[in-house]
Amino acid sequence: MSATASAGGKGKLLSDTLAAAKAEGRSALIAYLPAGFPTIDGGIEAVKAAFDGGADVVEVGLPHSDPVLDGPVIQTADDIALRGGVRIADVLRTVREAFEATGKPVLVMTYWNPIDRYGVERFTAELAAAGGAGCILPDLPVEESEAWRKAAERHGLATVFVVAPSSRDERLAKITAVGSGFVYAASLMGVTGTRESVGLEAQDLVGRTRATTELPVCVGLGVSNREQAAVVAGFADGVIVGSAFVKRLLDAPDLAAGLAGVRELAGELAQGVRRRA
């Protein structure tokens, strides 16, 4: 599939959603929440709350025992989910119930090992059947991605790859040539987590990535408030927020308060992406 093509199926819903945000003169708000956290049912409600607050897209994390790219907040949530017994079936249920409730694009973000063990064809078929829009695969090298991409394309799923400030221009071109949906631009080197500011590296990376593709370029890692969202929205097609949402749930005294916090944060960030600093 070419970089300029939209994935079919629910992958097309993702592309259409990002295009609609652009037509409104704003960036899209993309939230991340791990499945199974704080419980399986609670995680489903958290995804719905993010959409209710104003998220355009939600990434559902597949908890992993060795989340090497995730910071301490998401690692803590993953640990809680895994100790609670979350399985891939629960991740797919989260996608299904969130999509059925909202009709909005839901992605899965996962490391490669769980999919490899589960089976590529099985996972793509079940994700598509659940209404999933696609997958973000941060540790799958493009050189080893052909089997995944062919299965994803058959089922109308987007394949989102991650680029980093360290990526050379020729590497960016190689990655964006085979991705679909959007490009996930990691705003800085390191793991996920909230930060005081989002550096100029992110803006440079977006510019270099756009030179290689017509796909939307969405920025994640470090955004935690309305002001940061407005800054990133000034140069990116989408603003991705994860740890700040997870922290609202971690810090809450109970699920109801956590869901209210997720909804409130989504509302604040939605205002930020519309301000475009």
Do the domain assignments include residue 1?
no
Residue 63's CATH number = 3.20.20.70
224: left (phi over 0), alpha (psi -120 to 50) or beta: alpha
| Residue 232: inside a domain | yes
CA 121 to chain centre: 21
pLDDT digit string (tens) for 44-84?
999 999 999 999 999 999 998 876 667 889 999 999 999 99
For residue 128, is it within any domain? yes
Q: Is residue 2 part of a domain?
A: no
Q: Are 131 and 100 in contact (CB under 8 A)?
A: yes
Instruction: Please tell me the total count of domains within the chain.
Output: 1
Q: Which residues span the domain enclosing 123?
A: 11-275
Q: Has residue 223 been placed in a domain?
A: yes
User: If you count them, how many residues does the chain have?
Assistant: 277
- C-alpha distance from residue 100 to each of 110, 127, 184 (Å): 21, 13, 25
Asked whether residue 215 is domain-assigned, the answer is: yes
Angle between helices 243-251 and 255-275 (to 10 degrees): 150
- Cite the active site residues: 59, 70
User: Is 214 a member of any domain?
Assistant: yes
- Asked whether residue 5 is domain-assigned, the answer is no
| Higher-pLDDT residue of 182, 276 | 182
pLDDT per residue as tens digits for the range 98-142: 999 999 999 999 999 999 999 999 999 999 999 999 999 999 999
Whether residue 39 is predicted with pLDDT greater than 90 in this model: the reply is: yes
What is the C-alpha to C-alpha distance for residues 9 and 248, in angstroms, rounded to an integer?
A: 33
